[in-house]
Chain A
Amino acid sequence: MNGAEILIDGLRREGVDTIFGYPGGVVIPIFDVLYSTKKIRFLLTRHEQGATHAADGYARSTGKVGVCLVTSGPGATNTITGISTAKLDSSPIVVISGQVATGNIGTDAFQETDMVGLTRSICKHNYLVKDVAELPKTIKEAFYIARTGRPGPVSIDIPVDVSNAKLRNYKYPESVNLPGYKPVKKGNNGQVKKLAEAIARSQKPLLYTGGGIISAEATAELLQLIQKTNIPVVTTLMGLGTVPYDHPCFLGMPGMHGRVAANKALLECDLLIGIGVRFDDRITGPRHTFARQATVAHIDIDPAEIGKNVKTDIPIVGDAKTVLRQLIEKVKPRTNNSWNERTEFWKEKYPLKYKDSGNEPVNPQYVIERLNSLIDKDAILVTDVGQNQMWSALHYNYRYPRKFLSSGGLGTMGFGLPAAMGAAFGNPDTQVVCISGDGGIQMNIQEFATCAINRIPVKIIVLNNAYLGMVRQWQDLFWNKRYAQVCLQRGPDCPDECHGSDENCPTNYLPDLVKVAEANGMTGYRAKTKTEVDEVLKRGLAEEGPVLMEFFVNREENVFPMVSAGKPLSDMMTGE
């Protein structure tokens, strides 16, 4: 067998049935083998970034490893944003890139780029395969590393002569031998006991959970712990869906755009139990102001996360599922007390609010509220990044894990559509809806064609405010409304300094997204008024193939609540 055949055989042995990618000179040998492999579906995206996000969306929604196959040079560099996105959100993907022949490496050959050098700091591990004999072991290790421990992206760079080289006595390894890589599953019993005791002592305990719950498939255990202890819970963007939005103990997402009740609970709790979270700055605000009053327990599979941002009193390294099981066994049942009542009071006192802008323009929050009623209950919602993302996180009724996908850590605009495409490809029987802004959708708009041609039924919602809305919001609140380069309709006739939209602004936004959809063979609908919202959503969601639903929303709507960058969580603006 040659390298290309070994690669495809290895992928099949790892259970790969789907690959996203884009061909090129040095990967022709691999594509040629793939061409006649019936058991692996291949989705040809229109850009390598789209392929990488699609593999990521596939991985997040299915729990399997997403695979992406691209050529060397520009093909490889176009995957960088996708790899980095997957790294920051601990999503297991394997990115296979072609490389120039081993003899040409280092000569600045045509389409040569140092992929291992480029990806070193943005992936969990990477490989340059210089000898076909190392290929079987490399594939085995790459998948093992991507999916175990704290999941993450792994890059495999394969020179073209390695793909063509024959290997006698090919045998796929049955196990890996990685003396330096041994993820810990079980938590230290003593520490778990300490945590159980701390819970028993605590008057004001709070669970703070994140994406680690989803990676470890520990949703059932988390809900069981909450049932046994009635501890109020806040969930990060990456963890949305683990605790249903209407769970009595659920206080919402905390942080910069967190719910008031969630932030108030973080400020007042006396025991903070972080599980599968990384105390990100968007949650904590300035570190020295965060959870000063609380005993901090942190359960995480990655020892390097514990104590990285916030001083931890009870560190527990382990897999969330296993540790939660240990904890459930040790912890004493707890009944509601005045702390529960207090968090309940906050929830009631500070509901999500926004100013109704009448029939026209449409409130973006209203679109999401209506979507809640019209979307399938088990649908997958994929957001882009910015205001659309935060409105979705705040107003969408998430119910299940792996059904709310968003680029959290890297905050990658352009993630939404290709990730939704990958999710739809991996979940053919599930409704997949993508919510994007007009900025983000244009960053990977080439994938409209991919969706249409392959009949991938992604329902695309664009909340169009003709602004890069989140940056505009910051300029509005903190930069004296100096709207520097955030208006996507700004042209040569506009005044030098713009401080907001007025009657002179163009009303026909460019590009005409409905026409773009139609030009790509998709149906497009547009709503400019509140009364049209339901009809567009109903017709769009009922459509068989991919569809675009565009809503002209209130241009200068801001996301609230908000805590300014650099301010402690106590400085919440509610927008009133």
Chain B
Amino acid sequence: MIEKHTIIVTVINSAGVLARVSGLLSQRGYNIESAIGAPTEDPNIYKLSLVVEETGEHIEQIIKQLNKLVDTVRVTDISHKDNYIVREYIILKIEVNEKKRSDFFELARVFKANLIDVATDHVILELAGTPRKVDRFIEMVKPYGIKEYIRSGEFAMAEYQTPKKGDNKNGD
């Protein structure tokens, strides 16, 4: 069964580390739905959030292969774990004429979307929330006419008791 998994990869902040991770996944024929990465509070550590849609067997292989990279410190599959805060960010440009504007603003307010710019024929807004909330917002604003949007992809942080260092590293 194909499932969506969010995997957090903690790596050494070294040259080409992004290429190593993305190259590994494409080399073995796995599909990445989204991948985002950025430095962390420790300048030597870089964190990547990957969303992949694969079967459980493949997910296990992906995690093992990621662990095998010399630069990988830790790999955590946070799917089905409830101690993680998962967020996504989106910027949208939506066609809204004057007639529908007040309706639309009401909708944006309910979702706590932030207005960035208003023009005669469109508005630009931003929204941060759970991936589900972002999906839902896109669905709701679709009837107005979406001109363009860009999503960050998922990223996450453990709320409490992060797994021990080296977790998953040994496989048995």
Contact = CB atoms under 8 A, between A and B. Distances in A.
A458 interface: no
Interface string B67-81: 111111100000000
B20 A307 contact: no
A5 interface: no
Nearest to B57: A307
Nearest to A304: B64
B13 to A, nearest CB: 11
Chain A contact residues: helix, strand, loop or mixed: loop
B70 A180 contact: yes
A352 interface: no
A180 B72 CA distance: 5
B73 A179 contact: yes
Contacts of A125: 70
A184 interface: yes
B67 A304 contact: yes
B3 interface: no
A303 B23 contact: no
B61 interface: yes
B71 A316 contact: no
Nearest to B66: A304
Contacts, number: 58
A336 B5 CA distance: 49
Contact of B172 (A121, A182, A315): A315
Interface residues of B, number: 25
Nearest to B44: A179
B12 A188 contact: no
B12 A191 contact: no
Interface string A84-124: 00000000000000000000000000000000110011001
A308 interface: yes
A303 B19 CA distance: 22
A317 B170 contact: yes
Given A120-B23, A303-B64, A315 B70 contact: no
Nearest to B171: A303
Contact of A302 (B20, B23, B68, B166): B68
Interface string A301-319: 0111011100000011100
B15 interface: yes
Given A120-B20, A179-B12, A303 B71 contact: no
Contacts of A130: 15
A284 to B, nearest CB: 16
Interface in B151-172: 166, 169-172
B27 A121 contact: yes
Nearest to A179: B73
Nearest to A303: B171
B16 interface: yes
Contacts of A121: 23-24, 27
Interface in B109-143: none
B82 to A, nearest CB: 26
A178 interface: yes
A95 to B, nearest CB: 16
B11 interface: yes
Interface string A177-192: 0111110100110010
Contacts of A303: 64, 67-68, 169-172
Interface of A: 116-117, 120-121, 124-125, 128, 130, 145, 178-182, 184, 187-188, 191, 302-304, 306-308, 315-317
14 contacts: A116-B16, A117-B19, A120-B23, A128-B15, A130-B15, A145-B70, A178-B70, A181-B70, A187-B172, A302-B68, A303-B170, A303-B171, A304-B68, A317-B170
